[in-house]
Amino acid sequence: MNPLKLALDWTPNINHIGFFVAKEKGFYKSLGIELDIINPAHDNYALTPAKKVELGKADFALCPTESIISYQTKEKPFNLIAIGAIFQEDVSAIVVKSSSTIKRPRGLDGKSYSSYKARYEDAIIKEMIKNDGGKGDIKIIYPEKLGIWNTLLEDVAHSTWIFMNWEGVEAEQSAIPFNYFKMKDYGVPYSYSPVIACGLTNASKKPDQISSFLKATREGFLYCKDHPDNAVAILSKYLSEEDKTINLRKALNLSLPYFGSKENLDFIDEKVIADFVAWIKANNLETKDINPTDLYTNNFFN
């Protein structure tokens, strides 16, 4: 068996369901892979998933496209590369409580935003506000990553960035109504999040293992389409206690249309990457040259 490690971008949730299904159903083992799925709660997010890959503590990371750009353009570049996408479209949004005076992004001027402290994140939020006619004058706070959602629930922050198919489902179950602002509705061609990433140098040493990993992962996500009840039953075993109340079937139903078909599941479209890179450069969020085709590859798919 070939041992491989996958570093999750968050505590286990609906975005990760295909990995847990593939592990429990033996899809990885059937292809000679012993997969260890690393939960960031184990170190309270002391290291990001991408950093774990850079340091050799993981073979794969789940992260947004911005992380790929950031690692390739930082002072000491690391050749992090995306090898697959969980969703074919963006399923995230900026969220605020409906009881606030914030009815659209420009209303965030003078208000607070709970940030994950990603390299381009704060600038993206500010540009979104500007695109809606605001000044982009927002107060950024940096709580512990795994407590960010609670800062909104407890009125520590006015806004944050969530996945509609996870925190959005949790929010709908609560007695608190929320408003959501999608990036694409305010001039931000946001890219894939999360992507499956690995170090290019490491990947070149074991292409067959990576292809097998992706094949089994695809099988796991496709299983969710055909056996949704079984899939959510598997995921439920790995959830934190506070997440066990979330309606998993609803979360999966919201996710399924974005997983893609059997033909393009995990596939990365160059245009999606290129449009986001062009936007980042046009808004001066990154000054170094970025070739979109250097950020990803579909070559490991069989």
For the stretch 121-176, pLDDT in tens is: 999 999 999 999 999 999 999 999 999 999 999 999 999 999 999 999 999 998 88
Q: What percent of the chain has pLDDT over 70?
A: 100
Q: Is the pLDDT of residue 289 over 90?
A: yes
Whether the bond between 207 and the residue before it is cis, its omega within 30 degrees of 0, is: no
Q: Is the pLDDT of residue 204 over 90?
A: no
Mean model confidence pLDDT for the chain: 95
pLDDT of residue 13: 98
Domains identified in the chain and CATH numbers: 2-88+192-294 (3.40.190.10), 92-186 (3.40.190.10)
3-state helix, strand, coil in the chain (%, to 5): 45, 15, 40
What distance in Å separates the CA atoms of residue 273 and residue 296, rounded to the nearest whole number? Answer: 8
Q: Which two tokens stand for residue 276?
A: 């986001």
Average pLDDT over residues 274-281: 97
For 282, phi then psi, to 5°, come to -65, -30
Q: What angle do CA 208, 209, 215 make, to 5 degrees?
A: 90
Q: Which two tokens stand for residue 34?
A: 């012993």
Average pLDDT over residues 281-292: 95
pLDDT of residue 302: 63
Q: Is the pLDDT of residue 263 over 80?
A: no
What distance in Å separates the CA atoms of residue 20 and residue 11, rounded to the nearest whole number? Answer: 12
pTM of structure: 0.95
Q: Which two tokens stand for residue 158?
A: 């006015």
